[in-house]
Amino acid sequence: MAALRLAARSRLIQGLRTDVFRSAQRNASTSSVRPTNPLRTALYAGVFAVSTGLLAVYYFDSRSSIHRYVLTPLVRNLLDPEQGHQLAVKALRSGLAARDTQPDDELLKCELWEGITTTNPVGVAAGFDKNGEAIDGLFNLGFNWVEIGSVTPKPQPGNPRPRMFRLTADGAVINRYGFPSEGHAVVLSRLKSRIPWFFKEGHLPASFKPGKLLAVNLGKNKTSPPDSIDDFVTGVHTFAPYADVLVVNVSSPNTPGLRSVRNPLFYPTTLSFM
């Protein structure tokens, strides 16, 4: 009797295993051939594309609150001042920064020198984009005048870190960079790379944007003789074909003897090549 019960139990277990195996096979076969709904797939793809497009339009508009209330506070709290500065330059260089989407009002038009008309009177001075990395990104922000530099003939590192400090209560910074520059050769290569293939070198305006000006600020190496103006002369010859304006920096306290340079050829300190 015991042997019969064991045989019956064995057959029962074997039968259950067979049923489970067949059920798994049917489920796998059914799921593998289950037809997809093309209408549903297209709907999901359309919703995703529209959502991504709207998010991009919102992000790239410089008026969007996300830049003032989310991204900027994150940068200020997570990065030190110099890291935040470098991140801003890289974002502008990559094309991932916000843009001014509105045309300038006619009331903002200005006339400079001999009939040169600009779309607005607001520009960014030298010191932000020291090496000409973010020129077009800055123009896209709405600046009418972008001044890069100061650029020195030879590369130099500037002052040791830390060299930039936030004044939170004043909404300002203290800048003690000390003329860091990648040198004439590197900056010149960047200016040349901006030239559209259908323009010749020396085309004006050098900004390649109607009503906007590109300026290059010329600096002097700390290792150069204090009474020499050779660095400035070299800068004029190097960058004149690629700038609308050249600015000669003789006021920085970071270069020994710079403020003692007194040569009538370099006054006033802004030389126009329009």
Q: Decide which of 28 and 119 is more confident.
A: 119
| Three state DSSP letters for the chain | CHHHHHHHHHHHHHHHHHHHHHHHHHHHHHHHCCCCCHHHHHHHHHHHHHHHHHHHHHHHECCCHHHHHHHHHHHHHHCCHHHHHHHHHHHHHHCCCCECCCCCCHHHCEEECCCEEECCCCEECCCCCCCCCCHHHHHHCCCCEEEEEEECCCCECCCCCCCEEEEHHHCEEEECCCCCECCHHHHHHHHHHCCCCCCCCCCCCCCCCCCCEEEEEECCCCCCCCCCCHHHHHHHHHHHHHCCEEEECCCCCCCCCHHHCCCHHHCCCEEECC
Find which of 23-27, 61-65, 150-154, 252-256 is predicted with most confidence, using mean pLDDT.
Answer: 150-154
pLDDT of residue 245: 93
Q: Is the dihedral of CA 203, 122, 113, 111 positive or negative?
A: positive
Mean pLDDT, the chain, whole residue set:
83
Q: What is the mean pLDDT of residues 108-137?
A: 91
pLDDT of residue 267: 46
Q: Is 252 a catalytic site residue?
A: yes
The pLDDT assigned to 44 comes to 81
Give the whole-angstrom CA distance, residue 114 versus residue 97: 34
The set of residues, in sequence order, having a beta carbon less than 8 Å from that of 35 and lying 6+ positions away, is none
Residue-wise pLDDT tens digits, 115-124: 788 899 999 9
Q: Distance between CA 130 and CA 179 in Å, rounded?
A: 9
Query: What is residue 52's predicted lDDT score, i.e. its pLDDT?
Result: 86
Of 193, 189, 199, the residue nearest 155 (C-alpha): 189
Q: Backbone dihedral region of 171: left (phi > 0), alpha (psi from -120 to 50 degrees) or beta? A: left
| Whether CATH 3.20.20.70 fits 103-272 | yes
For the chain, domain boundaries? 103-272
Q: For residue 21, what pLDDT is reported?
A: 54
The Cα–Cα gap between 50 and 98 comes to 20
pLDDT above 60: residue 203:
yes
pLDDT average, residue stretch 22-40: 63
* Residue where the block lists tokens 């700038």: 243
pLDDT at residue 266 greater than cutoff 90: no
Which band of pLDDT confidence, cut at 50, 70 and 90, is reported for residue 100? Answer: very high
Higher pLDDT pick, 8 / 189: 189
Residues 67-90 pLDDT 10s: 889 999 999 999 999 999 999 999
Averaged pLDDT, 50-63: 86
Cα–Cα distance for residue pair 227/61, rounded to 1 Å = 48
**pLDDT confidence of 131, banded at 50, 70, 90?**
very high
Per the residue annotation, which of 251, 252, 260, 272 is the catalytic one? Answer: 252
**Poorest-pLDDT segment among 25-29, 42-46, 181-185, 237-241:** 25-29
Per-residue pLDDT at 268: 44
Give pLDDT tens digits for 160-178.
Answer: 999 999 998 998 899 899 8
Taking 50 as the threshold, does the pLDDT of residue 211 lie above it? yes
> At residue 58, does pLDDT exceed 70?
yes
* pLDDT number for residue 273: 41
> Cis (ω within 30 of 0) for the bond into 103?
no
